[in-house]
Amino acid sequence: MRDRLEALQNSGLAEIQKTEDLKQLDDLRIKYLGKKGEITELMKGMKDLSNEERPLIGKLVNDVKEKISEEIDLKFNFLNEIQRKRQLETETIDITLPGRKITKGGLHPVTETELFIKEIFREMGFDVADGPEIEETYFNFDALNIPETHSSRDLQDTFYIKSDVVLRTHTSPVQIRYMKDREAPFRMICTGKVYRSDYDISHTPMFHQMEGLMVGENISFANLKAILTEFVSKVFGERKVRFRPHFFPFTEPSAEMDVECVVCGGKGCRLCKGTGWLEIMGCGMVDPEVLKEGGFDSEKVSGFAFGIGIERTTMLRHGIDDLRAFYENDMRFLKQFKK
Ligand code: PHE
């Protein structure tokens, strides 16, 4: 029995020495120490031993068990360590790699221009107002002195929702809404979407406008010129401007404001169609009829108003030649304006 135990210990230790992986080592643990393992098997012979021998052999069995178990633990730690090292070598994380970029969105160029020009007027003391896109014909037309026979009331330009409700065709109805709740003097601007049934390289059925209105005692065309000239120089830099007589039903006198061409500086090019000038907005002195609709006495106060196309302003600021590019959502186009 002693010899068998010794032989078992020797072969066990030798086998443990030779193992090279954890699975093999686990098999050995079962082979020697398991419930049906070799030592357990050997212990079955204990019952045949004499009373003196039994405790001695029992101790020896325990020693062998302990020795083998210790050896297995040592080997286990050793193999485990090797495996971890190997893992670290093959599965390394390169901490010097740059992190993944978080992609930020940017403002749409029309929105950016809208905020930019709004801020210019805000700095000049203008209040920022708002009005509905679905508008009553009264505010969109009648109150603005646009008679039923005026061409902008034509069914082809205006999107009608009901006979007396339209998608607003301009931001001018906000003039009336604003005047009705206010006392003079005031100055306000309003930006927003407007709708016309039109589609080609310079027209989309929806576009953006900015409206401005200033009302008070002794407001004159000189005030209009001063404010709008200052505005244009902030948007396009120091450039010549001119006011051409025009007609709008809600202003009298009315004008269109032109700025020296941003491309050729006035010499004449494709953008300005050889004229050297670019039209940028409509403006004029508020018609007495409109002041009256807004609740003001045109004998006591006067005012001026203006309307600017925001897409057009954006095109001139960035040299964009097709209005439709704004609404195609082509990322290659939009990304160029990201700040
Ligand atoms: N509402 C006019 C348009 O849409 C622009 C404008 C506004 C003209 C105010 C004069 C005064 O064309």
Q: In this structure, are 119 and 76 located in the same domain?
A: no
Chain position carrying tokens 């032109």 = 258
For 76-118, the pLDDT digits (tens) are 999 999 989 888 888 888 888 888 888 888 999 999 999 999 9
**Atom 5 in ligand 1: which residue has the minimum CA distance?**
307
Structural domain range at position 77: 2-90
Q: Which atom of ligand 1 is nearest to the CA of 212?
A: 9
How big is the CA angle at 231 (ends 221 and 287), to the nearest 5 degrees? 30
Question: Which CATH number belongs to the domain containing residue 322 in this structure?
Answer: 3.30.930.10
**In 3-state terms, the chain is what percent helix, strand and coil (to 5)?**
45, 20, 35
| Site residues for ligand 1, CB cut-off 6 Å | 170, 172, 211, 248, 251, 282-284, 305-307
For 266-324, the pLDDT digits (tens) are 999 888 889 999 999 999 999 999 999 999 999 999 999 999 999 999 999 998 888 88
For 115-155, the pLDDT digits (tens) are 999 999 999 999 999 999 999 999 999 999 998 888 878 77
- Cα of 306 vs centre of ligand 1, distance in Å, is 6
In the chain, the DSSP E strands lie at 127-129, 134-136, 160-162, 165-167, 186-195, 206-216, 241-248, 251-260, 277-286, 302-309
Alpha carbon of 311 to those of 47, 92, 108, 111, 321: distances in Å? 104, 53, 11, 9, 11
Q: In this structure, are 193 and 332 located in the same domain?
A: yes
Chain position carrying tokens 């439709």 = 324
- Cα of 2 vs centre of ligand 1, distance in Å, is 114
Count up the domains in the chain and report the number.
Answer: 2
Q: Report how far residue 43's alpha carbon sits from residue 204's, in angstroms, rounded to the nearest whole number.
A: 97
Chain position carrying tokens 């007027």 = 121
Q: What are phi and psi of 50, to 5 degrees?
A: -75, 160
Look at residue 99 and tell me if it is in a domain.
no
Residue to mutate, 170, 246, 279, ligand 1, most ligand atoms under 8 Å from C-beta: 170
Tell me if the pTM is above 0.75.
Answer: no
- Cα of 176 vs centre of ligand 1, distance in Å, is 13
Residue to mutate, 196, 248, 290, ligand 1, most ligand atoms under 8 Å from C-beta: 248
Q: In this structure, are 136 and 85 located in the same domain?
A: no
**Atom 2 in ligand 1: which residue has the minimum CA distance?**
307
Could you give the 3-state DSSP secondary structure of residue 95? coil
For the ranges 55-69, 124-138, 187-201, 264-278, the maximum mean pLDDT occurs at 124-138
Q: Report how far residue 286's alpha carbon sits from residue 298's, in angstroms, rounded to the nearest whole number.
A: 9
Q: Which atom of ligand 1 is nearest to the CA of 282?
A: 8
Task: Check residue 271 and report its DSSP letter.
Answer: T
Higher per-residue pLDDT: 42 or 157: 157
